A and B are shown apart, each in its own frame.
Chain A
Amino acid sequence: MSANRIYLYKRYERFWHWSQALLIITMLVTGFEVHGTYTLFGFGKAVYYHTFCAWTLLVLWAFTIFWQFTTDEWKQYIPTLKKVDAMVRYYAFGIFRNAPNPFHKTAEKKHNPLQRLAYLALLSILSPVIWGSGLFYLFYSSWAALGIDGYLSLEAVALVHTAGAFMMLVFFIAHVYLTTTGHTPTAHIKTMITGWEEEE
């Protein structure tokens, strides 16, 4: 049994993941309040928490990008189409027939090909959309000083930011659900907490 244990997620990685999770959940909750979907903290507090989390996440990312490159972990996100079809077939059919997962995790390859694509899209497309629109939103009062007030409208910025939020929420739902697809429903979550993956 212990021979099949592999150390998948290092300590910083786990810290990054869970603090980022907390920040993103908080920003989703407060963001949709600012959007006017519901009242929870009150508009002013929601804006404050949202802004605070945004800055915190930016700092976290600064450290994380540094970490990715110093540890070579960034290579985990190099996309591949190999076995993508096998993964799709597994989630569409095999998973219901108790078929084996076609992908085997190793410390060098933590993410299955679908995951790689999803995370790459998250990091390289969705995040810039949210960050970009969010920073314009945040620095609204400086638009005139920056000379960009003629080219931007708060309405457009808010629209892009909200669209990003919806996509993030969809990612969150799918992501949380897919954590239950390990050899036991909580296996993936345990791995993300302890760092150790136990193979069947």
Chain B
Amino acid sequence: MRLKYILLLAAASALLAMPAAFAQTAKLETIIAPPTQAASQVAVAAKAETASTADHSKFKALQTNFKSGPQVTEACLTCHTEAAKQVQHTKHWTWESVDAKTGQKRGKKNIINNYCTSPISNEKDCMACHAGYGWKDSSFDFAVEKNVDCLICHDTTGTYRKLPGDAGHPVYERVEFPKGSGKFVEPADLKKVAQNIGLPSRSNCGSCHFFGAGGNGAKHGDLDSSLQHPGKYLDVHMDEKGLNFTCVTCHVTEKHEVSGSRYNVAAAVKGPAHLRGKTDASPAACQSCHSDKPHSGRMDILNTHTAKIACQTCHIPEYARNEIGTEASWDWSQATVMGADGKPTTRKDSAGRRAFDSKKGTWVWDSYVIPEYRWFNGDSTYKVIGDKIDPGKTVQINEIGGAPNAADSRIWPMKIHRGKQPYDKVNNYLTVQHTGGEDDTALWHNYDWQKAIGAGMKAAGLPYSGEYAFVSTEMTWPVTHMVAPEHDALSCAQCHSENGRLQNIAGVYMPARDRNRLLDLAGWTLVLLSLAGVLIHGGLRIYTSKKKEQLK
């Protein structure tokens, strides 16, 4: 008899264990499938720079006391004969990006954003971030190879710096920067820099991309100087003590063309992980290494989300996850407002970030920012110089493509930067203004909007009516960096709840957020009625049986 019970127990436990096979419960710890060897190979390749077969300090062409950037480039080109031509085809050189679908010419050269607005007429300042030398106005010759700046991307010494005002040339003489700050920037030893070149590090890319809009973290929010030496918390891939990815580990570069761009985002990548080297439209996408079904074991149910939700939505729970923060808004209408003494003034916020400057207006900063969420298919249509606007509405600097539940769209986290900036009241387009410079028309010199807009529009080749006002604008930026470790990813209920992160996202039925009110009402009424029914029936039984006992 006892044996039978043991057998029965064994059978029962076997029965209960069987679903494990169905649910594919592998080890519970294996929550995210580690990327296939593709990723690790790339990581190795990026670190292998020290194992280079060429020691540039031994190169004859580099034994010169270089006097200028172009001189260094000429030396580089004696061996790397095609490098400048390659760079000249890229956005880093042209500041232009053509939309393959619409033919629209975007890029810094053509759009007006709601940060610094436009580099046109301000080239001397803005081109500090041009991968070239000498773009000071529209006369710049894009065909001159020696004007390509190799060092800004390939310097490994950290001494090579380009400052606003020099049209892309590095510092050649000791200079106070910012002016009046008492801080000085030393010129780099160009010979030493040239002899110590390497693959771009996070700091190389970051020298421009961390400081967009003229301030650390100001523009992107998911890119700032904290990524030079990030911990795991800030970015699970760039973690300096861990995977230590550089930018180009993901932004795989071929012929100097850096993959991955916000102008054409690979927003909805499908399919398995794959080895690099395969023809690949989107090597910078998460799926390139992780596939579109990255979760395994107990978490494989999360793969049901990948057809609707970008990886970034859960895995970047907040951006600007540090004290550096990022700009939430920039109000140009407050520029030219002077201090109490009638002189230009500045103000900082409690965290020491720029809050007001008579030159530029007011800013609002934010840290640990919860993104806004939008359906997105990777397309963006920009307001380019001369595009009409409706000043009665908030102007969208870029209209993002995508529709609720569309096959090519995913729910993406976005930084939406809000601004107020000048527009031509008669012609109804955003204006280009001449801000930087020491001349009479520069806004930051003379604090005169009329002159600044007049000069800017002239340089842009666009009529200006002479009447300007300020219009509200929004610019939408997909958030894709600062990927958090898995335990910091969003938990289910952060979206699966009535007031969760995705409360305003249309097109998807989300359990715990959505329900049919009528069904709930009918269902619970029925449940209450049956409860009441059994209680009344039971009560009556007790009552009648007691009565009978009394009768006895």
Chain A residues within CB distance 8 Å of chain B:
11, 15, 19, 33-36, 39, 42-44, 47-48, 51-52, 55-56, 58-60, 63, 91, 95-98, 140-141, 144, 153-155, 158-159, 162-163, 165-166, 169-170, 173-174, 177, 180-181
Contacts and interface: CB of A to CB of B under 8 A. Distances in A.
B516 A141 contact: no
Contact of A154 (B15, B509, B527, B534): B509
B55 interface: no
Interface string B484-505: 0000000111001110000000
B23 A52 contact: yes
Contacts of A11: 8
Contacts of A181: 541
A144 B496 CA distance: 23
Given A96-B540, A162-B519, A34 B512 contact: yes
Contact of B16 (A44, A47, A56, A154): A56
Contacts of B537: 91, 177
Given A96-B540, A162-B515, A39 B493 contact: yes
Interface in B56-82: none
Contacts of A158: 509, 511, 514-515
Contacts of A98: 544-545, 548
A55 B545 contact: no
A170 B523 CA distance: 9
Interface string B525-548: 011001101100110110011001
B14 to A, nearest CB: 10
A97 B530 CA distance: 23
B508 A154 contact: yes
> Main secondary structure on chain B at its contact with chain A?
helix
Given A35-B511, A36-B513, A180-B538, A140 B304 contact: yes
Nearest to A42: B493
A176 to B, nearest CB: 8
A55 B491 contact: no
B406 interface: no
B301 A159 contact: no
B544 A144 contact: no
B303 interface: yes
Contacts, number: 115
A166 B523 contact: yes
A44 B512 contact: no
Contact of A155 (B22, B509, B531): B509
Contacts of A166: 519, 522-524, 526-527
B190 to A, nearest CB: 56
Interface residues of B, number: 46
Given A33-B512, A43-B491, A159-B519, 5 more contacts: A43-B497, A56-B15, A91-B537, A141-B304, A177-B537
A60 B18 CA distance: 10
A51 B534 contact: no
B299 to A, nearest CB: 9
A173 B509 contact: no
Contact of B492 (A43, A51, A56, A58): A43
8 contacts: A35-B511, A42-B492, A44-B491, A44-B492, A96-B540, A144-B307, A174-B533, A180-B538
A158 B511 CA distance: 8
B527 A34 contact: no
B530 A59 contact: no
Nearest to B512: A36
B136 interface: no
Contacts of A165: 523
B515 A60 contact: no
B542 to A, nearest CB: 10
Nearest to B302: A44
A56 B19 CA distance: 5
Most chain B CB inside 10 Å of its own CB: which residue of A36, A163, A174: A36
B527 A169 contact: yes
Given A36-B513, A174-B530, A174-B534, A63 B544 contact: no
Interface string B17-30: 01100110000000
B161 interface: no
Nearest to B270: A144
Contacts of A97: 544
Contacts of B306: 141
Given A56-B16, A60-B15, A44 B493 contact: yes
A103 to B, nearest CB: 18
B143 interface: no
Contacts of B22: 55, 58-59
B409 to A, nearest CB: 14
A169 B525 CA distance: 12
Contacts of B544: 96-98
A43 B496 contact: yes
7 closest Cβ contacts across the A-B interface?
Answer: A166-B523, A55-B19, A36-B512, A177-B534, A44-B492, A141-B304, A43-B492
A36 B493 CA distance: 10
A95 B516 CA distance: 39
B191 interface: no
B515 A48 contact: no
Given A42-B493, A170-B526, A36 B511 contact: yes
B517 to A, nearest CB: 11
B12 interface: yes
A159 B516 contact: yes
Contacts of B515: 35-36, 158, 162
A129 to B, nearest CB: 13
Contact of A173 (B12, B23, B534): B534
A189 B455 CA distance: 92
B298 interface: yes
Nearest to B19: A55
B512 to A, nearest CB: 4
